[in-house]
Structure 1
Amino acid sequence: MTARNQGGCDGEHVCRIVDRAGEHFPGSRGKGLTARTQEVLDDLGVVDEVLHFGFRHLPHRRYLDGDQVAEADPHAQRTPTPDRPYDGGLLIPQWRIERILRTRLAEHGVRVELAAGLAEFSQSANGVHAVLDTGERVAARYMVGCDGGRSTVRKALGVRFEGETKEQAMLLGDVELSGLEPDAWYQWTVRGRGFLALCPFRHERSWQLQAVPFSDLGAEGSFPEPSLPYFRRIVDDLAGGNGIRLSKASWLSTYRVNVRMADRFRVGRVLLAGDAAHVHPPAGGLGMNTGIQDAYNLGWKLAMVCSGARQSLLDSYQEERLPVAAWTLGVSAEGLPRVAERFVNGGSTDIADGAPSDGQQLELGYPASSLSVGGDAESGPRAGDRAPDAPCVDSSGTLRRLFDAFRGPHFTLLGFGESCAGPLRDVGTAQRGLVKPVWVGAPGSGADLVDVEGHARTAYGVTGDTLVLVRPDGYLALRAPGASRTAVRDYLDRVGVSRSA
């Protein structure tokens, strides 16, 4: 659970994160980061460390009935482009991502408080009053339930968690082993007996084990209690002859497939995010990513409302994220049986085949949102679409990306063309701190960022002088003619975040 305490704003505000668990979760769980989530982590200033600990181009080595039948890198054809600097998914254990984010959070003076679960809460028109398991009473302006599929917060709100629990199940764990080189994601299918996958992690001793031993699958998708001896037997049965020896297990689990989504993501001053709002099959590896992007969408809105923006800005959280959750549930549910059936029948399907066509989440956006204004662009991204990156140079000739300009909790106003000078100057004066004005120009123009090779204009489909307002979470808010002196002000007033609103 996260809460924004009563108090001031703009740096005086206090955010608390409490967790009922007595220690941080040790398991790898969701291990795939999409390209879009890597962009989010870039904005948060931690992507270099994430890349250091992640595998990007890890071949998938597949076996059928004991014989190797294929080896391929599903991201082999992906390469970075000027507008998309992260070329594909990244394999990294979830506990590592959480540790990196906790370290970044601590730099802002916030720590995750363990053994401090939520016992009860109530809310009024002015705030939320919570009682922790420790007996402490907390007064907050808002509360966010990020407490998983069995969410205490969601249940207390009376929010329906609609969907179904399927009979499909999987065994999961983090193990140390000998007998394999950590140079591939190994996948074995033995017809009539089951499926096993072992995925290494970069700079780690542990591997993630995934298994579906058909002979052990009981009624309603149940498996025997996971244990190291049981996992050893599964490995011997499905990958025998490879000399694999499991030596240690740090996490053992049974995963049941649920496809469920909350019917609301907000009730008054209490909001839901991540698994508390939606759970779905692992096909496509979108779970952790969708949760991170929930928080990314909500965080800047909460911060601005706590700093004086209209509370109605929070309405856009459900408006934007509920359709994304519905899409995620749909494509994940479609991908799981497709992969499972082919594994059972001994096909050549790879785990990655369960991913949707936009498995990197770069095409997801909010074009129908009330925060997206400006109509369709003749070319390039429209309001509500993801804001592309592009390499430029600053006035000193130093390489600067558009993502560098976006980084931080502010709007960014890109001005393409000389007629944008007035609107950029107006915004820089009237909306200082809220909107960062950036003139993007040609070599010799004296612009803030010089579009040396024209990648920025190409990425944004700019043919004439154009203003592009980018939200704090990296989506286009507005496109307008370059000389417009009122478009940005009117937009900020409309959504209730203007300094003069």
Structure 2
Amino acid sequence: MNEPLDVLIAGAGPTGTTLAIDLLRRGLAVRIVDKAPHPFAGSRAKGIQPRTLEVFDDLGVLDAVLAGSSDYPRLGIHLGPVTVPWRMFRNREPSAGVPHPNTRLMPQYRTDSVLHDRLGKLGGRVEYGRELAGFDQDDTTVTATVTGAGGPERITARYLVGADGGSSAVRKHLGVGFVGETDDQDRMLIVDAVTTGLSRDRWHVWPGAKGRFAGACPLPHTDLFQWMIRLAPDEEPPDGEEAVTRRIQAHTRDRHLAVRDIRWRSVFRPNIRLTEAYRRGRVFLAGDAAHVHTPAGAQGLNTGIQDAYNLGWKLGQVLAGADVRLLDSYEAERLPIAAGVLGLSTEKYEGFAKLDPSSLRRGKDEQQLSLTYHGGPLAPAGRDRTKTLRVGDRAPDAALPGSRLFDTYRGPHFTVVAYGPKATAASGELDWPAVGAPLRRITIQACDSYGFEGDTLLLVRPDGYLGHIATRDFLESTSAAVRTMTPEVAG
């Protein structure tokens, strides 16, 4: 019998591909299948938040993302003959702790392309036209049936991850509830097209009666705009260049506007739902398969990528021999985050239709830099802390002589950061297993963004969150934290 695959991933959007990249760089055997016949061609999710930029830095795709994206343009709110400028984001300069402080604008097809290119460089590839038809699991494996042009194939893996979107076949086969609502009366036509009669220095918005609006966002490094047109409850969505142009002109009352060369068209319905569970046995859900959002606030894609980034190192560690209970922390950490983000994006969407000024602003809540895992199984209350940080916080960046702290964190390893002579001595004595994620040790002399007040030893998880802080009992307490996240150290 062939050795089982380590992980089978269903769905090759940003979430599934991020997970595949992270697993492949850990040396795991991975396959990723997608029922679509080819890569996604539309713009759909287009905002990339600062925390996601940090993930992309770690995964080796940041330069390509920055080259293919732009800062968000100002809004231009058209009120009859008057256009009111409005800035959703206050662009900030990089700081010691936050090297990428601004949200970037990039159409999803380009994000997918960058991730797929990185996947290929690691030896992986997306198997398109391959649909997961069902699966069974036992105590050690999951056996899935995948169909395609060549007929059905049975694939046995140690774990299965469903990153296959809001209509997830994996979630449905698990029988996990997807709680929430879909408003079929609230529909939005989304069109990527070349547009004449519009400047590209604004995200144009035309408010209308009863919450109707039209918007046109210039997609960077293209000649395209993404049009968003909120439809009346019984309105037939226009199709084709002439019909879409007539609809735009009727709403904007601008006869100079016209679309041509439509690249992608979709009718979106606000679907606000959250899974009842992120895991059943050896099967996990991630991204839109676990939570679907309104497009407001650019949260869905980013939350899905954070799901994958949280899950990847935990799967790698358990496959290397860590306690299987580590996988319980995936749902415990990510489900509350998704619930909070869902509420935020819903509030922004409802306010946007009313042109509520607060709904048009974007700030730290959307950027996902302040999300924490406080109180979770890997960050229980009562642990040591610094003046500014607690266990479960994102580990910020910092300037070091000739480099940055993020340069040390980059890669699939844990990091121990020692500040002060006692912490440095304990760092050198800390035992580490020979299997699973390796350990990198660093001693630093000063670091304002970490709030050190005396000797401190930090354990930074592979996903860039603080797994332990020790200001006393350095070796004993850190060793105890290590044992919850790694295989046993051989005697």
Structure 2 counterpart of 1:370: 377
Measure the CA separation in 2 of the matches of 1:388 and 1:17.
32
Structure 2 counterpart of 1:217: 233
Instruction: For 1:336, give the aligned amino acid.
Output: Y
How far residue 488 of structure 1 moved from its aligned partner, in angstroms, is 2.1
How far residue 436 of structure 1 moved from its aligned partner, in angstroms, is 1.0
Are the counterparts in 2 of residues 20 and 116 from structure 1 also a CA contact under 8 Å?
yes
Question: Residue 118 of structure 1 is aligned with which of 116, 125, 132?
Answer: 132
**Structure 1 position 60 matched with structure 2 position 75:** yes
Aligned positions of 1:113-262 closer than 5 A: 113-134=127-148, 135-166=152-183, 167-191=185-209, 194-213=212-231, 216-218=232-234, 223-224=236-237, 226-241=239-254, 243-262=256-275
Q: TM-score, normalised by structure 2?
A: 0.89
Measure the CA separation in 1 of the matches of 2:48 and 2:429.
39
Are the counterparts in 2 of residues 414 and 468 from structure 1 also a CA contact under 8 Å?
yes
Residue 487 to residue 232, structure 1, CA distance change in 2 (3 Å): same
Structure 2 counterpart of 1:464: 454
Aligned positions of 1:282-361 closer than 5 A: 282-342=295-355, 349=357, 352-353=360-361, 355=362, 358-361=365-368
Q: Structure 2: give runs of 5+ residues left out of the alignment.
A: 9-22
Structure 2 counterpart of 1:74: 88
Measure the CA separation in 2 of the matches of 1:196 and 1:9.
42
Measure the CA separation in 2 of the matches of 1:494 and 1:133.
39
How far residue 223 of structure 1 moved from its aligned partner, in angstroms, is 4.1
Residue 118 to residue 225, structure 1, CA distance change in 2 (3 Å): farther
Are the counterparts in 2 of residues 66 and 188 from structure 1 also a CA contact under 8 Å?
no
Are the counterparts in 1 of residues 196 and 257 from structure 2 also a CA contact under 8 Å?
yes
Measure the CA separation in 1 of the matches of 2:74 and 2:255.
18
Question: Residue 481 of structure 2 is aligned with which of 470, 479, 491?
Answer: 491
Instruction: For 1:163, give the aligned amino acid.
Output: G
Structure 2 counterpart of 1:409: 412
Residue 376 to residue 225, structure 1, CA distance change in 2 (3 Å): farther
How far residue 66 of structure 1 moved from its aligned partner, in angstroms, is 4.0
Secondary structure of the 1:358 match is: helix
Secondary structure of the 2:430 match is: helix
How far residue 302 of structure 1 moved from its aligned partner, in angstroms, is 0.8
Are the counterparts in 1 of residues 323 and 484 from structure 2 also a CA contact under 8 Å?
no
**Structure 1 position 42 matched with structure 2 position 57:** yes
Residue 12 to residue 291, structure 1, CA distance change in 2 (3 Å): closer
How far residue 192 of structure 1 moved from its aligned partner, in angstroms, is 5.9
Residue 127 to residue 66, structure 1, CA distance change in 2 (3 Å): farther
Are the counterparts in 2 of residues 3 and 17 from structure 1 also a CA contact under 8 Å?
no
How far residue 168 of structure 1 moved from its aligned partner, in angstroms, is 2.2
Residue by residue over 1:390-445, the C-alpha shift from the partner in whole angstroms, topping out at 9 and shown as x without a partner, is: 1112xxxxx3111111111111111011222222222376668522111112xxxx
Residue 261 to residue 63, structure 1, CA distance change in 2 (3 Å): same
Secondary structure of the 2:475 match is: coil
Instruction: For 2:216, give the aligned amino acid.
Output: L
Secondary structure of the 2:346 match is: helix
Are the counterparts in 2 of residues 174 and 209 from structure 1 also a CA contact under 8 Å?
yes
Structure 2 counterpart of 1:400: 403
How far residue 376 of structure 1 moved from its aligned partner, in angstroms, is 5.2
Measure the CA separation in 2 of the matches of 1:3 and 1:377.
37
How far residue 25 of structure 1 moved from its aligned partner, in angstroms, is 0.8
Moved more, 135-144 or 325-334: 325-334
Measure the CA separation in 1 of the matches of 2:325 and 2:80.
58
Measure the CA separation in 2 of the matches of 1:358 and 1:406.
24
Measure the CA separation in 2 of the matches of 1:379 and 1:23.
50
Instruction: For 2:240, give the aligned amino acid.
Output: S
Secondary structure of the 1:359 match is: helix
How far residue 39 of structure 1 moved from its aligned partner, in angstroms, is 1.1
Residue 77 to residue 24, structure 1, CA distance change in 2 (3 Å): closer
Q: TM-score, normalised by structure 1?
A: 0.88
- Taking only aligned residues, the RMSD between alpha carbons, in angstroms, comes to 2.4
Instruction: For 1:262, give the aligned amino acid.
Output: T
How far residue 305 of structure 1 moved from its aligned partner, in angstroms, is 1.2
Measure the CA separation in 1 of the matches of 2:71 and 2:359.
15
Question: Residue 439 of structure 1 is aligned with which of 440, 443, 451?
Answer: 443
Measure the CA separation in 2 of the matches of 1:350 and 1:248.
35
Residue 482 to residue 100, structure 1, CA distance change in 2 (3 Å): farther
Alignment identity in percent?
38
Residue by residue over 1:219-245, the C-alpha shift from the partner in whole angstroms, topping out at 9 and shown as x without a partner, is: xxx642543323211221233437222
Structure 2 counterpart of 1:24: 39
Residue by residue over 1:124-158, the C-alpha shift from the partner in whole angstroms, topping out at 9 and shown as x without a partner, is: 00100011113111010000001111111111101
Residue by residue over 1:184-207, the C-alpha shift from the partner in whole angstroms, topping out at 9 and shown as x without a partner, is: 211112446931111112211222
Measure the CA separation in 1 of the matches of 2:217 and 2:6.
36
Secondary structure of the 2:443 match is: strand
Residue by residue over 1:441-496, the C-alpha shift from the partner in whole angstroms, topping out at 9 and shown as x without a partner, is: 2xxxxxxxxxxxx4x2x111101110111111011110002672222221111344
Measure the CA separation in 1 of the matches of 2:358 and 2:338.
25
Moved more, 479-488 or 262-271: 479-488
Residue 184 to residue 267, structure 1, CA distance change in 2 (3 Å): same
Instruction: For 1:282, give the aligned amino acid.
Output: P
Structure 2 counterpart of 1:423: 426
How far residue 377 of structure 1 moved from its aligned partner, in angstroms, is 2.2
Are the counterparts in 1 of residues 351 and 359 from structure 2 also a CA contact under 8 Å?
no
Secondary structure of the 1:336 match is: helix
Moved more, 46-55 or 316-325: 46-55
Measure the CA separation in 1 of the matches of 2:346 and 2:26.
42
